[in-house]
Chain A
Amino acid sequence: MAKAGSMLGSGSIIVVDETVPVMDVARKVAKFYAHESCGKCTPCREGTNWTVKMLDRMDSGEGTPMDLDILAGVQEQIIGNCLCVLGDSMAMPIGSMVAKFREEFEAHIEAARERQEAAVLHPEPEPAAMLSDTTGPYPEAA
């Protein structure tokens, strides 16, 4: 399995059929690990956070196929450099998803771009402003 670029470290298998977009799987996996990252070591803390931000951007139509190279590069930078294997657990599946499903990612990015352009030309009423989940907390001074 390891040779195939997969990982069974957590002892679980997630079965996903072909109707589920690989982008959704990648985002789900990345968000899970970014949420679970303790933040102690740099590659995991920043790598998972960066990966989530990149995937979200691609999904929202702001990405380009070149981002996939950066995405793959970031995964390589995480693997093997962390204190524990949590970072690796995200980097290995995301990395292999990009490698094995690159075309699907590219199609998804393209579709998202078109959707977004259409939205710019024919805007729908905007939802109420929300605090972005990518910004940090604002702890109040005592």
Chain B
Amino acid sequence: MPRPELRTVRFTLDGREVEAPENVMLVDGAKYGDVEIPVFCYEPKLGQPVGACRMCLVEIEGMPKLQTACSTAVKDGMVVHTQTERVRTAQQAVVEFLLVNHPLDCPVCDKGGECPLQDISYGWGPGTSRFIEPKRHFRKPLELSPLVAIDRERCILCYRCVRFSQEVAEDYQLVLLDRGAQSFVATFDGHPYVAPFSGNIVELCPVGALTSRAYRFRARPWDVEDSGSICTLCPAQCNVSFTVRDERLMRVLARQNDEVDDGWLCDKGRFAYQSAHADERIVEPMVRDGGELRAVSWERALGAAASALGRAQGRVGALAGDGTTNEEAFLLQRLLREALDSPHLDSRPAGGPPRELAAALGAPALAATMLDLEHAHAVLVLDCEPVDDMPILDLRIRKGVRRRGVRLAVATSRPSSLDENAELVVRLPPGGGEALLAALDAALTSASDVEERSAAAGLDAPALRQLAALLTEAGEDVVVVHGERLVSGPRAAHAARALLNVAERLRLAEHEGAGLLEAPAHANGRGLREAGVLPEAAPGWTEPAAAGRSAAEIAAGLADGDLTTLYLLHVDPLRTQPDRGAWERALAAASTVIAHASVLTEGIAEHADVVFPAESYAEKEGTVTHPDGRLQRLRPAIGRPGSVRAEWSVLAELAERVGLPAGPLTGPMVTAMLAEAVAFYAGITLDEIGGKGVRWPKREAASAFPGVEAGPFELERPPAPPAANGRLRLGTYRSLWAAPEVEASPALKFLAVRQRAELAPADAERLGIADGAAVSVARNGASLAAQAAIRSAIPAGTVFLAEGVEGAGANAVTGGEPGLVEVRPG
């Protein structure tokens, strides 16, 4: 969709000529003339202004009454007065009215010192109040949710939190109950406000009515420091600002970057900072000694790791995952490829397509940006659940649909939270992404075998034609959002070709506002691939001297004894990798397992021989790459606890100990090495990345991206799914809350996920399973205990399990690809 053109208008503000962009509201337009108009309810992020608080009244010549500057757009030739007696009287009146029912308990209020109500009362209020009647009273503070406390006496009824819930997060939980002076904010049903984005209301609240229960009474604004960085708990990589007091993280606030997060955070990003100070965090290097992990000196741990790596020359495998920076990834592949002659490393849990195809999917021309999502003609959400895989994406898609009329199509196997916003919903069988793409390709080229292909994929041919029609008719700017799982597994190459074909048919590479956006499995998935943590691609998607083994092949190699040593950079394979059984065998067979970890998850606790303490994301320095190609910079906000060391330096020192020449001495030196090794990052510096990041596909160096295989490809017919014979097709999903950081954060513990088997009512009835009953899900001899959850939206014949659940992940019954499972009561 064409972006609105920026035209400027001239208007008179307090007797001076001011130039401002057309159609901005007067509140914003006045800023171009260095005039601040006070506001409470106005917040452009929330959509249309409501004009409720009346704080922004100004005088406009030609209009008899005072007007709200938040809901009046600037027009050419407008004459506006903000400093007249009439305006001043009205502003003072509004402040006096707002304070009528406000308890004025600033000395004990968390907001004190950073409170818009304080600031505006001071700047625009009358200074005194004539109100001597009793104020309204509420019981307080109450738990609006386990994360947010509500003090209804402080509330000035600005509607921000309600608008957020109704119009941004669209969870429709918060409402204003009662009316007039008795109005109060509550959930419509009286239940706690638990939602993936609920914490944002704390930041939106212009008074101390909504406060974070994790932050309440922990610090005051004048004894904290703010430190800008990036949240690397998921691929969304939201820009955050850490509030730090005495070397401890106190809270996380959004650091608005419209091109990344639009100023919102999910609750994991907002509250999981507590994991950095969790008691269970590993803060000393550890070595297994007499069967138990014991804290040891760095010298001993590095020595043990280096000698094990040295012995295993050529037979080392490595996995990198969540929280790994580009620099660490680069040094890891340098350690394995150059020092150990062992190119077996992977960052994709379920493997991926070969180098040329993977690089083609990551080509700069195909990269869609977060802003493209909002301005696209159509968005297709394909085989992923944004709210779980990359939460902030969910809000951006909702915004596009709600405010800009983006046409949304959802094609997923598990019912999506975006279904209700979508114009078209296509349900595909779990693992049917490739077949869907092949059928869609046929529909887009008006091939004759659409029916046949759809039927083979278990899809409805008319729905597919509708999908193809929607994508072609909506306009040229189409963004396809997909999960890493779409192009992974044994048929990744075929899926990648099908996806490239669809991209070709929709001309995604040719249009500026069109493209692909992938939600990778790991927070820095794109960065890890570009830095060369792939079995068959060196940094910058170049061809390595020798191809290595993929994650699944590393597991097999360890089990067979072809590999002896495993290096885990922020990965617990028992938790994140599919096919838990294979990894259990691999870890048991490995002679040495070296891990960087911040908590002892089961695989690390049982199998690691050397454990290096991992830095938390608030302690790291380095860069990460957003799924849209934006390099962003992590800056340390707090010091490292215990004897934690910078992880890049651990990797660099290990490389030195096993024979490489002296490596980098500082973090920025590693960034420089990375920029040199990755051709399309060439010349990038930390200064250039700055606070807002820089998208490499937009830089000149992007032309150095290696040539890639061009489509369209002849597609092989996807194999027909095996007959069910009474078994259910297993689909897996990742839950936002199934993460070690969530389990280690006291505030979020109530959200930690228990394994649920989501079943269709028909299947549950056939199998004699009641909602909430204990079930076992079995496949190939392995089984998993779960609680049955009967959801009417689940397609019959399928069952869904969550990945990454501590001790009960779906990977116990996945064999690398979706398959059939038996579900039994008990």
A45 within 8 A of B: yes
In the complex, which residues of chain B have a beta carbon less than 8 angstroms from the beta carbon of A41? 51-54
A82 within 8 A of B: yes
Contact among B51, B90, B181, B189 for A37, CB-based, below 8 A: B181
Task: For residue A107, give the distance in angstroms from its CB to the closest CB of chain B.
Answer: 22
Contact: A42 with B181, CB < 8 Å? no
Report the separation of the CA atoms of residues A88 and B97 in the bound assembly, to the nearest whole angstrom. Answer: 15
- Most chain B beta-carbon contacts within 10 A, residue among A77, A78, A132: A77
Report the separation of the CA atoms of residues A140 and B192 in the bound assembly, to the nearest whole angstrom. Answer: 11
Binds B, one of A12-20, A47-55, A109-117: A47-55
Contact: B94 with A81, CB < 8 Å? yes
Task: For residue A92, give the distance in angstroms from its CB to the closest CB of chain B.
Answer: 14
In the complex, which residues of chain A have a beta carbon less than 8 angstroms from the beta carbon of B191? 142
Within 8 A of A (CB), among B208-255: none
Residues of B whose CB lies within 8 Å of any CB of A are 50-55, 57, 65-66, 89-90, 93-94, 96-98, 100-101, 130-131, 133-134, 136-139, 142-143, 152, 156-157, 159, 176-184, 186-187, 189-192
Smallest CB-CB A-B distances: 9 pairs: A49-B181, A77-B93, A39-B183, A53-B133, A46-B97, A37-B180, A136-B136, A142-B190, A39-B180
Contact: A46 with B138, CB < 8 Å? no
Within 8 A of B (CB), among A95-142: 132, 134-142
In the complex, which residues of chain B have a beta carbon less than 8 angstroms from the beta carbon of A139? 138-139, 142, 177, 184, 186, 190
In the complex, which residues of chain A have a beta carbon less than 8 angstroms from the beta carbon of B157? 39-40, 42, 45
Contact among B89, B134, B139, B176 for A39, CB-based, below 8 A: B176
Contact among A78, A83, A137 for B184, CB-based, below 8 A: A137
Contact: B179 with A37, CB < 8 Å? yes
In the complex, which residues of chain A have a beta carbon less than 8 angstroms from the beta carbon of B190? 139-140, 142
Report the separation of the CA atoms of residues A78 and B53 in the bound assembly, to the nearest whole angstrom. Answer: 13
Closest to B180 in A: A37
Contact: A54 with B133, CB < 8 Å? yes
Residues of A whose CB lies within 8 Å of any CB of B are 34-43, 45-50, 53-54, 57, 70, 73-74, 77-78, 80-83, 132, 134-142
Report the separation of the CA atoms of residues A42 and B156 in the bound assembly, to the nearest whole angstrom. Answer: 8
Contact: A47 with B97, CB < 8 Å? yes
Instruction: Beyond A39-B179, A54-B133, A82-B54, list 11 extra A-B contacts (CB 8 Å).
Output: A41-B52, A45-B180, A47-B97, A49-B101, A57-B133, A74-B130, A81-B94, A134-B134, A136-B136, A139-B184, A139-B186
Contact: B180 with A42, CB < 8 Å? no
Report the separation of the CA atoms of residues A58 and B55 in the bound assembly, to the nearest whole angstrom. Answer: 30
In the complex, which residues of chain A have a beta carbon less than 8 angstroms from the beta carbon of B178? 39, 137
Report the separation of the CA atoms of residues A111 and B152 in the bound assembly, to the nearest whole angstrom. Answer: 38
Closest to B139 in A: A138
Report the separation of the CA atoms of residues A49 and B98 in the bound assembly, to the nearest whole angstrom. Answer: 12
Task: For residue B101, give the distance in angstroms from its CB to the closest CB of chain A.
Answer: 7
Contact: A135 with B136, CB < 8 Å? yes
In the complex, which residues of chain B have a beta carbon less than 8 angstroms from the beta carbon of A50? 97, 100, 131, 133
Closest to A40 in B: B52
Task: For residue B100, give the distance in angstroms from its CB to the closest CB of chain A.
Answer: 5
Contact: B96 with A77, CB < 8 Å? yes
Task: For residue B733, give the distance in angstroms from its CB to the closest CB of chain A.
Answer: 28
Task: For residue A38, give the distance in angstroms from its CB to the closest CB of chain B.
Answer: 5
Can you list 15 pairs linking A and B with CB atoms under 8 Å apart? A41-B51, A41-B54, A42-B157, A45-B180, A45-B181, A46-B97, A46-B181, A47-B97, A49-B101, A49-B181, A57-B133, A134-B134, A136-B137, A139-B139, A142-B192
Given A37-B181, A50-B131, also A81-B101 (CB < 8 A) = no
- Most chain B beta-carbon contacts within 10 A, residue among A39, A134, A135: A39
In the complex, which residues of chain A have a beta carbon less than 8 angstroms from the beta carbon of B186? 139
Contact: A81 with B93, CB < 8 Å? yes
Contact among B57, B131, B187 for A81, CB-based, below 8 A: B57
Task: For residue A142, give the distance in angstroms from its CB to the closest CB of chain B.
Answer: 4
In the complex, which residues of chain A have a beta carbon less than 8 angstroms from the beta carbon of B133? 50, 53-54, 57, 134
In the complex, which residues of chain A have a beta carbon less than 8 angstroms from the beta carbon of B152? 136
Given A41-B53, A70-B130, also A49-B93 (CB < 8 A) = no
Closest to B142 in A: A141
In the complex, which residues of chain A have a beta carbon less than 8 angstroms from the beta carbon of B100? 46, 49-50
In the complex, which residues of chain A have a beta carbon less than 8 angstroms from the beta carbon of B138? 136-139
Given A73-B130, A138-B139, also A81-B54 (CB < 8 A) = yes
In the complex, which residues of chain B have a beta carbon less than 8 angstroms from the beta carbon of A36? 180
Report the separation of the CA atoms of residues A36 and B130 in the bound assembly, to the nearest whole angstrom. Answer: 24
In the complex, which residues of chain B have a beta carbon less than 8 angstroms from the beta carbon of A37? 179-181
Report the separation of the CA atoms of residues A136 and B178 in the bound assembly, to the nearest whole angstrom. Answer: 10
In the complex, which residues of chain B have a beta carbon less than 8 angstroms from the beta carbon of A38? 179-180
Task: For residue A80, give the distance in angstroms from its CB to the closest CB of chain B.
Answer: 5
Contact: A81 with B66, CB < 8 Å? yes
Report the separation of the CA atoms of residues A78 and B183 in the bound assembly, to the nearest whole angstrom. Answer: 19
Report the separation of the CA atoms of residues A75 and B90 in the bound assembly, to the nearest whole angstrom. Answer: 12
In the complex, which residues of chain B have a beta carbon less than 8 angstroms from the beta carbon of A138? 138-139
Contact: A34 with B52, CB < 8 Å? no
Report the separation of the CA atoms of residues A43 and B53 in the bound assembly, to the nearest whole angstrom. Answer: 8
Report the separation of the CA atoms of residues A59 and B178 in the bound assembly, to the nearest whole angstrom. Answer: 27
Report the separation of the CA atoms of residues A4 and B157 in the bound assembly, to the nearest whole angstrom. Answer: 35
Report the separation of the CA atoms of residues A14 and B412 in the bound assembly, to the nearest whole angstrom. Answer: 64
Task: For residue A13, give the distance in angstroms from its CB to the closest CB of chain B.
Answer: 25
Report the separation of the CA atoms of residues A50 and B50 in the bound assembly, to the nearest whole angstrom. Answer: 23
Report the separation of the CA atoms of residues A48 and B100 in the bound assembly, to the nearest whole angstrom. Answer: 11
Report the separation of the CA atoms of residues A120 and B323 in the bound assembly, to the nearest whole angstrom. Answer: 73
Contact: B52 with A42, CB < 8 Å? yes
Report the separation of the CA atoms of residues A43 and B51 in the bound assembly, to the nearest whole angstrom. Answer: 12
Report the separation of the CA atoms of residues A73 and B89 in the bound assembly, to the nearest whole angstrom. Answer: 11
Given A81-B93, A136-B137, A142-B191, also A43-B54 (CB < 8 A) = yes
Contact: B137 with A46, CB < 8 Å? no
Contact: B53 with A48, CB < 8 Å? no
Report the separation of the CA atoms of residues A132 and B189 in the bound assembly, to the nearest whole angstrom. Answer: 26
Report the separation of the CA atoms of residues A25 and B134 in the bound assembly, to the nearest whole angstrom. Answer: 23
Task: For residue B31, give the distance in angstroms from its CB to the closest CB of chain A.
Answer: 23
In the complex, which residues of chain B have a beta carbon less than 8 angstroms from the beta carbon of A77? 89-90, 93, 96-97
Report the separation of the CA atoms of residues A49 and B63 in the bound assembly, to the nearest whole angstrom. Answer: 29
Contact: A83 with B52, CB < 8 Å? yes
In the complex, which residues of chain B have a beta carbon less than 8 angstroms from the beta carbon of A34? 180-181
In the complex, which residues of chain B have a beta carbon less than 8 angstroms from the beta carbon of A49? 100-101, 180-181
Report the separation of the CA atoms of residues A40 and B186 in the bound assembly, to the nearest whole angstrom. Answer: 15
In the complex, which residues of chain B have a beta carbon less than 8 angstroms from the beta carbon of A135? 134, 136-137
Closest to A70 in B: B130
Task: For residue B41, give the distance in angstroms from its CB to the closest CB of chain A.
Answer: 9
Contact: A45 with B94, CB < 8 Å? no
Given A73-B130, A136-B136, A140-B190, also A43-B94 (CB < 8 A) = yes
Contact: B52 with A81, CB < 8 Å? no
Contact: B94 with A42, CB < 8 Å? yes
Report the separation of the CA atoms of residues A137 and B130 in the bound assembly, to the nearest whole angstrom. Answer: 25
Report the separation of the CA atoms of residues A16 and B192 in the bound assembly, to the nearest whole angstrom. Answer: 50
Contact: A40 with B159, CB < 8 Å? yes
Contact: A39 with B181, CB < 8 Å? yes
Task: For residue B138, give the distance in angstroms from its CB to the closest CB of chain A.
Answer: 5
Contact: B90 with A81, CB < 8 Å? yes
Report the separation of the CA atoms of residues A45 and B41 in the bound assembly, to the nearest whole angstrom. Answer: 15
In the complex, which residues of chain B have a beta carbon less than 8 angstroms from the beta carbon of A78? 93
Closest to A46 in B: B97
Report the separation of the CA atoms of residues A142 and B425 in the bound assembly, to the nearest whole angstrom. Answer: 35
Task: For residue A12, give the distance in angstroms from its CB to the closest CB of chain B.
Answer: 21
Report the separation of the CA atoms of residues A54 and B132 in the bound assembly, to the nearest whole angstrom. Answer: 9
Contact among B66, B97, B176 for A80, CB-based, below 8 A: B66
Closest to B190 in A: A142
In the complex, which residues of chain A have a beta carbon less than 8 angstroms from the beta carbon of B52? 40-42, 83
In the complex, which residues of chain A have a beta carbon less than 8 angstroms from the beta carbon of B180? 34-39, 45, 48-49
